[in-house]
Chain A
């Protein structure tokens, strides 16, 4: 909310701008900006016309001597609406006019002119360009015109939090300034001249929905002449960002900004039957609001209707039919209290947010309704020459009960951790308008001022006390030490180790939005029923579905980096994927969220360097990274089984299976080359590798505390073995069979060779085998026997031939 300090100073003594900004922020009304306005008229000063004579060379020009505070100055002038002795604006040489051009000292038809006397239009103050703007006669020559006109002002941009509806006005902010500075507030009392006949003879008010409208008050002003507002009023409104419309509408906006009470002026001659009916919208009912939009009403919309039809969305916006227009002479002025949540629903339903709805949603002062009505009626009469009919119509079916709240004297200290004396509590609350009703040794009862709808319980009083006393006064302590230090959760440890392992393998962590375009998921899951979870109100079509896989985002990250000419890319992400809940899920999470870890790799195996070649990475680079990850997590016995999901290359994909401690196997996820068609869908070339693992399965399978075996005490026997097998035989089939032999401690596959002299369709596997017994020194003869058994097993089971 924009608060004008010159306006504010009408109600309370105002400290200098920076000081008042600091004070308001300290009590919870955060001042976000301090803006000085009126600066556009720099260089324009008040000047008294001392004498004038006809221009020697031009009949329509005058040559004036003016006093602008520093002796007589000669200015040539073309206007005629002034007299010698008037005070008028002088744009001194060097002034930049609002229209953009600069004023210089010039010769006009041969006569020197040191500046320019200005009209209101030239100063962008109004459309009136018919003559000079004549200033009040008591203006001191030399004074900046902005100050003379009262448009030199400081405006505070105050961030009023939703609980503080009472501070959405100048009077409300004045109350806070007064409480913070110890000053008191002067509230202007309306000088209302009323004349018979009474308003009740011109208008009848019926509230049909008392739970949505607690109070509806109206006055009638007749003989109104619609016209422009005086400058002072326009300046006030414009300082607060409100456009001037006409004297009557401006008066309602003025009172809104003064007191926080929204008012609405109807053209009474357009209110059918002189009847105001506050009722719910009818099914299919339509009305056109002031913004020119025809709206279909909901039965949940509260409307202000006349005898025949709806003429305003209550508390939100008036209707075009009963709008004040240039020909209006009789005004029906409304001041009411509408129920906040209902106003909010209507405003949102119709996509409207107005100064009125903003305040009604937050709650206006139900006891301030009539005071605001009287203030506004008096202003309208004064500005438009109208006459206020006698009396207000005040429909207030159920009077609001005042709110009393008990404060136990000990409670502030219990919440704040610092003592608060009774006197202090009483004084602070009194300064904010709380009335002490009863007091005793243990507690006191305070009556909450009617404008503080946010205060309903003891904690609210404590907050009032502490925010005025200042949070700085509270000491800093620490809560008592906890006796139990929680161990980090298992998932956090696994996450940390996973990150370490992947980063060591060259993967950098990516963070992607959880929502993607449906088209991003489609290439990965052709018809597999995991389309993600769509949002009802996505911010854009690209961010419309909660993703069912992390892979598409990573592929897009790869494509992005390639566009930036970064080609060696390894990225990983640990995040949730989203799916429909399992039937009968017991937790009360509405969807199933599974944490996964996924990564992509593309480009070269090692960065090209003076000692490394730039070979492209392949499946086994990815596998090596995953093996290192599994080792870091203590997950052993993971099998890479050939084959994977459709988004991986069918000939270059593996499924990772782990044994569970209690038996059984679990699929950890998949790894392989991204299917060339999927890569193509993301505008990526061949040779992109990816993995996608269930982080939750990793957490389950991880063995965070390692066991150990004793270190071998007896020497080992080493034997090499080279066998030739068919190409289709997986190396695992050979190595597993070697490991079956009990004396084998370790086997290392050190060469895989195809080509002459090995026959076509076959490959040579060369291994180093380490035999060891844990309880004795192994003899060569024992090792030879074991070696022979291995050769025989390989020959008979996988058709291996020993290579000599």
Chain B
């Protein structure tokens, strides 16, 4: 049984060779040498034809066993080499995790005025307010008259107004002056007229214009106006709504203070102050007077009041049947308080070094 002896010798040689193989290439060579079509096992098997028939099964059995063993040895040797390679990699030098991440295109940023507007209108949307808009080049009637600010009324001094000549617009004279809206309040008139009947619950953001330009005034700025009109709406609802808004915008601990003020289109009128978001209402910060609230602990942020009966009459609502409240706020101021922006001019310079921070 020379063949069996040959096979056992072959197996011995394969065991040693595979155990000492150093890389994939050597293993592949060994696979070809032992298992290939022209390999050593095949050569042994080819010699089987000369064996007596009764010996063939035994030799065949041994040959199969040797082949299986060599295959198994080759497979485990490959795993061993893989493991060694992986181990070497795992022990190898680290990548530079401090290199900047690869960003082909950094995101652009949203303007802080838009951010604040979205946040404000979003809060009121959750309270069931619809978002409305209106023209910026507006008729005197919507901007003033309908809001109980007649011509030659001193309240017009509160808002220095830009005008557009009617003739420029091809309008006949005497149909009322055309102006840039001085506040978003004309949108409440338009919204109530559009609705036709109460209830109306609307919030209206937009650009407004006043002829005033210095460190703390811009000839264009942004407001958000809101109105809630229906049967049985009270001043208590105004306080509740604006209190809820202030907590949502400035944070849960925010307190509100409501005090009398005057806007011609509301009565009673109210100024709503919120506890200073920077000093927490203490009036001092960092051992000194809080510059944001000037040491008072309060910030004036909202004008508001119960919709004046004349305004309701002007849009065809019956003040005996419905009441409502209205409020308005300056978006730049809200953004300045939220983001700690100190200089109004930054909003309109569009300096990417500023915009990039939002």
Interface residues of A (CB under 8 A from B): 25-28, 30, 161-164, 340-342, 344-345, 361-362, 414-418, 457, 459-460, 462-463, 466-467, 471-472, 474-482, 485-486, 488-489, 492, 496, 499, 502-515, 533-540, 543, 546, 557, 560-561, 564, 566, 569-572, 575-576, 578, 580-581, 588-591, 593, 606-607, 609-612
Contacts and interface: CB of A to CB of B under 8 A. Distances in A.
Contacts of A418: 235-236
Contact of A589 (B130, B137, B355): B137
Nearest to B122: A488
Contacts of A492: 131
A345 B201 CA distance: 37
A538 B306 contact: no
B66 interface: no
18 contacts: A162-B154, A415-B268, A475-B239, A478-B127, A478-B240, A478-B244, A486-B130, A502-B108, A510-B350, A515-B219, A535-B164, A536-B165, A560-B351, A561-B351, A570-B108, A575-B207, A576-B136, A578-B136
Contacts of B356: 508
Interface in B100-147: 100, 102-111, 113-114, 118, 125, 127-131, 134-139
B138 A537 contact: no
B60 interface: no
B199 interface: yes
Contact of B236 (A30, A417, A457, A578): A417
User: Which range holds the interface residue count of chain B?
Assistant: 35 or more
A478 B268 contact: no
A578 B138 CA distance: 12
A477 to B, nearest CB: 4
A509 B351 contact: no
A471 B258 CA distance: 6
B209 A514 contact: yes
A474 B239 contact: yes
A546 B308 CA distance: 33
A720 to B, nearest CB: 27
Interface string B144-158: 000000111111011
Interface of B: 99-100, 102-111, 113-114, 118, 125, 127-131, 134-139, 150-155, 157-158, 162-166, 168-171, 178, 180, 199, 201, 207, 209, 211, 213, 219-220, 228, 230, 232-237, 239-241, 243-244, 257-262, 264, 267-271, 306, 308-309, 323, 347-353, 355-356
B261 A28 contact: yes
Given A462-B268, A511-B114, A572-B108, A489 B152 contact: no
Given A504-B107, A533-B168, 13 more contacts: A28-B262, A30-B259, A462-B268, A463-B269, A478-B244, A479-B233, A485-B128, A492-B131, A508-B355, A513-B219, A533-B169, A564-B351, A590-B135
Contact of B114 (A460, A499, A507): A499
Contacts of B139: 588, 590
B330 to A, nearest CB: 14
Given A25-B259, A576-B136, A509 B109 contact: yes
Contact of B235 (A416, A481, A537): A416
A675 to B, nearest CB: 22
Contacts of A570: 108
A540 B213 CA distance: 10
B175 to A, nearest CB: 9
Contacts of A164: 262
Given A476-B236, A482-B201, A606 B104 contact: yes
A486 B128 contact: yes
Nearest to A496: B118
Contacts of B355: 508-510
Contacts of A557: 350
A141 B307 CA distance: 60
A566 to B, nearest CB: 5
Contacts of A341: 150-153
A590 B99 contact: no
Contacts of B155: 162-163
Nearest to B105: A506
A344 B137 contact: no
A475 B110 CA distance: 38
A146 B213 CA distance: 40
Contact of A459 (B209, B258, B309): B309
Nearest to B229: A479
A533 B111 contact: no
Contact of B163 (A462, A535, A612): A535
A170 B158 CA distance: 23
Contacts of B234: 414-417, 477
**6 pairs of A and B residues whose beta carbons are closest in the complex:** A417-B236, A417-B234, A28-B260, A161-B262, A341-B152, A463-B268
Nearest to A558: B350
Contacts of A593: 135-137
Nearest to A489: B131
B268 A467 contact: yes
B259 A503 contact: no
Given A508-B352, A509-B114, A474 B164 contact: no
Contact of B164 (A460, A533, A566): A533
A505 B108 contact: yes
A282 B207 CA distance: 44
A612 B213 contact: no
Nearest to A569: B352
A490 to B, nearest CB: 11
A507 B114 CA distance: 14
Contacts of A462: 267-268
Contact of A571 (B105, B107, B350): B350
| Candidate in B201, B219, B352 with the most chain A CB atoms within 10 angstroms | B352
Contacts of B259: 25-26, 28, 30, 471
B154 A536 contact: no
B134 to A, nearest CB: 8
Contacts of B131: 488-489, 492
A678 B143 CA distance: 38
Contact of A536 (B152, B163, B323): B163
Contacts of A537: 162-163, 211
Contacts of B264: 162-163
B352 A566 contact: yes
Looking at A462, A571, A588, A610, the one whose CB has the most chain B CB atoms below 10 A away is: A588
Contacts of A591: 135, 137, 164, 169, 178
Looking at B99, B131, B268, the one whose CB has the most chain A CB atoms below 10 A away is B268
A352 to B, nearest CB: 13
Contacts of A546: 137, 164, 180
Nearest to B260: A28
Contacts of A457: 309
A187 to B, nearest CB: 25
A342 B152 CA distance: 8
Contacts of A416: 234-236
A79 B231 CA distance: 80
A775 B215 CA distance: 70
Nearest to B305: A463
Nearest to A27: B260
A124 B148 CA distance: 49
Contact of A479 (B111, B118, B237, B309): B237
Contacts of B258: 471-472, 474
Contact of A163 (B102, B171, B262): B262
A687 to B, nearest CB: 18
Given A534-B168, A566-B352, A578 B137 contact: yes
Contacts of A463: 260, 267-269
Contacts of B199: 482
Nearest to A567: B352
Contact of A344 (B125, B152, B271, B352): B152
Contacts of B352: 508, 561, 566, 569, 571
Nearest to A353: B157
B207 to A, nearest CB: 6
A581 B264 CA distance: 31
A741 to B, nearest CB: 34
